[in-house]
Structure 1
Amino acid sequence: MFTTKTISPAAIAAVALLAGCATTVRTPTETVNPPPSAALSTFSSFELKPINTSEICAKQSGGDVALAAIQTRIDSGLGSLVKNWNEKKNTAASQKLVIEPICVDIKLIGTAKRIFTGALSGSSAVVMKVRYSDAISGKVIAEPVFYQRASAMGAAYSFGATDRDMLNRISDLIVSYASRNYPQAVGGPTGLE
């Protein structure tokens, strides 16, 4: 029988470190998002909504900060795409496409906490989906899911840089999916490796 006297402090620290590296963010199972039912260019106008956090969002530590940062990046990247598409005015189509990012699950370890507690704070991760739907009928033409993670150890070694970079990567995946599926419906990666 083991007692605390027979277990070394190094073993206790190792167990605590490994336990802290875990994250409870629900990981998607697919590595590839299916294509939308139609190329995005078949729509004549586009509306980008703010991130929906009221449907299914499981915000953990740092979730609000992370969502604000992702919203800024989506407004810049996807917002620019939508603006360009609206300026093209596809006269052959008359439908409006609504693009709605949706928070599924999010955890972000802040820089101060990461520096102070390192890997013991656990991993940061984010799961988002984006609903593309016809504005009139409400028919969903695509609902891709995106995932990114910053490992506890890597984030500790980088003093939180990988935590912050995760927010750029998730935004880039969302913008890339929209851009790739504008000329033709091809799908795209979820970000799960």
Structure 2
Amino acid sequence: MTDQAASDFARLLDEADIRGARAAVLDTAQPALWSPMIAVWTDRAGVNCPQCFQPVRQDMTDHCPVPLDQGELRLLDQTHHCGQWLDVTYAEVRGTGDGGEITVADIERTARTLAERLSDERAHLRDRRTTRLRRELQAALVRLAEPLGEGETTDDREEEVSTGTDVEPGVFREHGDEWQAWDCDPVELHETLAVYEEDLRPS
């Protein structure tokens, strides 16, 4: 399998319905000393840096983070310009064929394991953000239900709890509809996550 091109690996993983994982042959400059390796890595879980929230490279298709160095995989520096380390999940494919040869099944198994880990990480990011949105919306609804103060109007109270608009993340109500809290999806660029009043009602 070590003579496969990158496009072959992409097709292989796509046909196996393995999303978010990449693979490449890492050829050594001294083949007499070391045999080529196959590395598998995944895209990053989130679209933003967890510290400064600036966009980061999420699609790692054309960016192998683990070149071969002295016969070993060496993770390149993944420090963002703000100083935050950006995690990358990777692994060397271990061959189970005759004489330790790497088989298609070996690549798929390694890639699937890493892809499942990536899926779990993305689910965690979304769950954490949705939990925060539920908490913010619940606090707003509790405040809205409290009696108005002297000289305070309903509009005053609604303005107080409104932290967002239809274009700015936060808590808001559009044109008299039910209240909601929304934010950008931490996993999918240009997508959003939202929690509505009805989501907080007992089922």
Per the normalisation by structure 1, the TM-score is 0.32
**Structure in which a larger fraction of residues adopt strand:** 1
Q: Which has the higher contact order (CA 8 A, sep 6+)?
A: 1
**Structure in which a larger fraction of residues adopt helix:** 1
Per the normalisation by structure 2, the TM-score is 0.31
